[in-house]
Structure 1
Amino acid sequence: MARGSESCIGHQLYERDVMAIPKKFYFIFLSLCSIYGIIVAYTSTVISLTSFSNSVSDKTFADKPISDKVTSEADSKKEMTYRHLTIDNSAQKKYWWSNDTRCSKYSVNFGSNIDAAWLLSYPRSGNTWTRYLIESASGFFTGSIYQSKRAKEAGYLGEDDPISRNRTIVIKTHKVKFIKGSNKRTLLIMRNPARSIISYWNFVDSGNSNWFSSVSNSSYTTKEFHEFVANELERWRSTYIYPLENTKRLYVIFYELLRENPLREIRGILRFLELRPDEDRLLCLSRHLEGVAKGGQREVQPYTLEEKKAFTRTIEEINVLLSSRGFPSMPDFQKYGFL
């Protein structure tokens, strides 16, 4: 039989067999096939969409900077309420950077009705240099209880401005009695006592001649020096005990960290004072960080073993108080070569 005939007969037999199937089963069979096709199509679509979504998500995550996971500076500014201080344009101004053409426009000014903060520290802890940084960053003069002629001549025009006039942003003091009972903010500058005391000894023993006074190393071997150390360590301690135990609006500045990164630390100070940072002004400050009163670090090591132990005990006591107020501990002074 011809091949075409076999194909025709086979087709006839197939049609006969199919026709022999009850119609309802035939209809069910076709329905199942349709459902199966729909399921396959749906599954394929879902897989494709999921794959596409994952690829987009992965790309978005990869392109997203890590810093977005933490609060940004912009977010911090949104949460911050800044004070709006008024400049007294009728008063004298100071231009710290008059010789820098890029920064000469930035002046330091007296204000009006300013709620000033105390700037408290043990002597020789960087108070005067900190004032320069605050003046430069804020644009407002700082004051002082001392009315130092030397400071006034150096450019600190708010030095002898009466506190009652409320024209300066902070007021320098080394005396705790001024902050007792005060509701003012308090900036507390803390420096390694071993360094601040030896610096103060140089200042006192040279007759308070200038900020950068230095005496001969032989003076460190005298009885007077070691008596001075014992007395001044207790004074250093009492300078910080009271504010840490009693002052409500308190901000601690570690002098060693201020020297390492002045701009980072001054931003924290501005935030505490509720002053909006001027980025262009801060950029100029970064070009002139030394100011007129930043001292050096004396590398002499004149202390006895017992004196070093006394320093360590006092620092540990202060660290306990710092921790109780939520502040970090003082820096590890071994890192800086003392203690």
Structure 2
Amino acid sequence: MSQEKELTFSEAIEKAQQSIVRFPLIPIRGIPLMSYIAQNFDSIWAFRPDPSDLLIATYPKAGTTWTQEIVDLLLHNGDAEACKRAPTPVRSPFLEICSPPPIPSGLDLLRKMDPPRVIKTHFPFQLVPPGFWENKCKTIYVARNAKDNMVSYFHFDCMNKTQPEPGPWEGYIHKFMQGELSWGSWYDHVKGWWAEREKRNILYLFYEDMKENPRREVERIMRYLDLSLPDDVISRIVELTSFKSMKENPMANYSCVPKPVFDQSISPFMRKGEVGDWTNHFTAEQSKVFDEDYEKQMKGTDIPFRTQI
């Protein structure tokens, strides 16, 4: 009876492989979510975090894993070995993720952890369980410019066998612009969190800033968490969370997820981690159409996105 409980995260995924499919999207309050998440939304919405819990929120492929690793290292004083105790999704559970048994859901993993916990979500602001705001949990939001974010999400959807089939790049651009991907509209996502950042004491970070000056942004996160670490520890954390280091770290590069689920021969989970890679994907015409739509969708907002650094 206790055998399934003793499975590691990777073993649970291995065991459930035959149940893994590209799950259809079902709208919840107008946001398309994978069917397993949609079916369990009431339980997720009812989740009550501890006031000491930290939420890391992003639109998919905007620097989530990077931020999770920075936070874990800050909380463990830059101890690389301590941060290799388990893969990222076990150390910092994905709040809303639900999969076929025996893969543990985010809620399953969180129930087994004592606070303070570091919790990941891709929910737009309005779908985050209200307990996070009632308990005044600290929250870090990371935003990435739309074009690079979409390129990264496209490659991820190609290799992630649980997300809907992405189809050709040309069509994917229109799905992105119309908010038809998992977790909905990028535009509404970044704007929704931006609008709440001061009221909810949300640390709103930009992927481009993190690439441009990682030390500065690591120090910003450290101060937000009310920590004070010596310079040499900060330097070590910056090094350990470089793209190269994380790509080679089996506890951070999602190699724990077997090939039938994440086929990293199609595209690595950690692919490039660059700013401006969109120029290798958009044609001049596609860029023009996208930019015109972007102006309409982002009209009246002052979020300082950069597509190059």
Whole-angstrom distance in 2 between the partners of 1:191 and 1:168? 27
Structure 1 residue 263, shift from structure 2 partner: 1.5
Structure 1 residue 229, shift from structure 2 partner: 3.4
Structure 1 residue 270, shift from structure 2 partner: 1.3
Whole-angstrom distance in 2 between the partners of 1:160 and 1:255? 30
Whole-angstrom distance in 2 between the partners of 1:137 and 1:197? 29
Aligned residue in 2 for 1:301: 282
Moved more, 259-268 or 270-279: 270-279
**2:190 alignment partner, SS class:** helix
Q: How does 1:133-212 map to 2 (within 5 A)?
A: 133-139=70-76, 141-146=91-96, 161-162=109-110, 165-176=113-124, 177-178=127-128, 180=130, 182=133, 183-208=136-161
Structure 1 residue 147, shift from structure 2 partner: 5.8
Contact 1:115–1:166, Cα closer than 8 Å, also in 2: no
**1:161 alignment partner, SS class:** helix
Q: 1:43-82 CA distances to partner (integer Å, 9 max, x unpaired)?
A: xxxxxxxxxxxxxxxxxxxxxxxxxxxxxxxxxxxxxxxx
User: Which residue, out of 312, 315, 324, partners 2:295?
Assistant: 312
Distance 1:118 1:257, change over 3 A: same
1:245 correspondence with 2:195: yes
1:330 correspondence with 2:280: no
Aligned residue in 2 for 1:230: 178
Aligned residue in 1 for 2:169: 220
Residue identity opposite 2:221 in structure 1? I
Q: Which runs of 5+ in 1 are unaligned?
A: 1-112, 150-157, 320-328
Whole-angstrom distance in 2 between the partners of 1:318 and 1:185? 24
Moved more, 302-311 or 251-260: 302-311
Structure 1 residue 195, shift from structure 2 partner: 1.2
Whole-angstrom distance in 2 between the partners of 1:304 and 1:282? 38
Aligned residue in 2 for 1:118: 55
Bigger RCO of structures 1 and 2 (CA < 8 A, at least 6 apart): 2
Contact 2:54–2:117, Cα closer than 8 Å, also in 1: yes
Distance 1:249 1:285, change over 3 A: same
Structure 1 residue 169, shift from structure 2 partner: 4.6
User: Which residue, out of 229, 237, 241, partners 1:277?
Assistant: 229
TM-score by structure 1 length? 0.50
Contact 1:143–1:160, Cα closer than 8 Å, also in 2: no
Structure 1 residue 159, shift from structure 2 partner: 10
Contact 1:142–1:159, Cα closer than 8 Å, also in 2: no
Residue identity opposite 2:192 in structure 1? Y
Give the aligned length: 200
More helix by share: 1
Structure 1 residue 133, shift from structure 2 partner: 1.5
TM-score by structure 2 length? 0.54
**1:226 alignment partner, SS class:** helix
Structure 1 residue 227, shift from structure 2 partner: 3.1
User: Which residue, out of 233, 243, 262, partners 2:214?
Assistant: 262
Distance 1:166 1:242, change over 3 A: farther
Distance 1:194 1:312, change over 3 A: farther
Whole-angstrom distance in 2 between the partners of 1:124 and 1:225? 15
Residue identity opposite 2:306 in structure 1? D
Distance 1:144 1:279, change over 3 A: farther
Q: Which runs of 5+ in 2 are unaligned?
A: 1-49, 77-82, 84-90, 100-105, 248-252, 254-269
Aligned residue in 1 for 2:265: none
Residue identity opposite 1:122 in structure 2? Y
